[in-house]
Amino acid sequence: AVLKDFTQTFKDIDEASLAVVHARQERILAHAGNIAGKSYTLSSVWRIACGLGYDHPIENGFTLDHNSGLPYLPGSSIKGLCRYVFEQYIAAAQNSKNFNAEKMFDLFGSDETDSPTSVQNTGDIVFFDAFPEKVPAVEVDIINNHHGQYYEQLNTYDENEGSLPSPMETESPNPVFFLAIGTHTPFVFRLFSRSRNTENLKIIDSVILDGLTIFGIGAKTSVGYGRFMGPDIKWLDEAIVSLCKQHNEPDSMNILRGKSLAKEWTKISDSDLKDAVKKTIADRWKDASVTINKSVKQIYDQG
C-alpha cells in the first residue's frame, strides 16, 4: 500500500519541473556548440529498475533527482555503461585505430587503477544525467523469491554434517516489492565533447546506442529491464502500427512483408536510419521465416 501511494505522487508532479531540467541541459549544449554536443531520445522496451541498491525510505532503492523529485539515470552510470561497451569493442577489434586502450582513456578518462603509468584525466566526453522526456509512470514491481530456506542452508552447508535437504514446493515464497519506471518511457540522453572532437562523437554514437539497446542500464538487465529501442526499431514499430490502422489490417506480419511498408521506408531521408531500418526489417523476415514477394524486395534493393 505504501509503494502504491508513493507511485501516485508522481502523477502530481508538474511537467514544468521537468521542462526546467531539460532547458538547463539544452543551454549547456548550446554553449558547447552544435559541433560538440549530441542528444538522443530513446524509449524503453520495458521497465527500468534504477538504484535498487541505494538506501531509501521504501527499503529497496530508487534513483530520484533531489531537485525535481523525478526518476533519472545518472550520467556516471551512462558513462560506466559506455566504457564497458568500449572494452567489448576493444576485445572484438583487437586494438584497432578507434578501439584501443589509449582511445578509451581519451574518451572516458583514466586513473592509477587503469595502469601504473596512466595519467589521471577526466576524459573528453561529458555525460549528462538522462531524464524522462515527460513525467513517467512509476509502477510497483515484484521479485518473488522461492526456496529461501534452502538457499540459506546452501550458504552454510558443511558436507561433513550430512546431506543437504532438497528445496520443497511446500515452502512459501518471499515476495519483495520495488519501484520501476514504466514501459515505453522516452528518455533524453545528452553528451558533449570537451575538445569539440567530431571523431570522438562519431565513436561514442555507436557505443551509447549499443549500450542502451543491447546491454541495457540499471538493475535486472539480464531479464530485460533497462533496455531501449534504437531509432530503427522505433521507426519500424510506429510505421507498422500506423499502416495497420490505415489499411485496416489486423495482422502486422502482412504489413511487414508488404509493399506499403516498403514504400514508407523509401521516404526516410536519413541514410543511416534508412540502412538500419532495412536491416531490422530483413532480420524480422528471417526470424519469422516468411517468403517475400520479388516486387517488394525490388523496392528495398532500389532504395
Q: Is the pLDDT of residue 5 over 90?
A: no
What would the grid cell of residue 97 be?
Answer: 585505430
Confidence of residue 23 (pLDDT cuts 50, 70, 90): very high
Q: Is the pLDDT of residue 116 over 70?
A: no
**pLDDT (mean) for 26-31:** 91
Q: Is the pLDDT of residue 98 over 90?
A: no
- Amino acid letter, residue 97: K
Confidence of residue 43 (pLDDT cuts 50, 70, 90): very high
What would the grid cell of residue 197 be?
Answer: 572532437
Confidence of residue 159 (pLDDT cuts 50, 70, 90): low
Query: Read out DSSP for 71-94?
Result: B-B-HHHHHHHHHHHHHHHHHHHT
Q: How far apart are CA 179 and CA 145, in angstroms?
A: 16
239-254 pLDDT per residue, tens: 999 999 999 999 999 9
Q: Is the pLDDT of residue 57 over 70?
A: no
Give strand pairing partners of 140: 179
More confident call, 68 vs 39: 39
Q: Is 247 helix (H, G, I), strand (E, B) or coil?
A: coil
pTM above 0.95, yes or no: no
Q: Is the pLDDT of residue 100 over 80?
A: yes
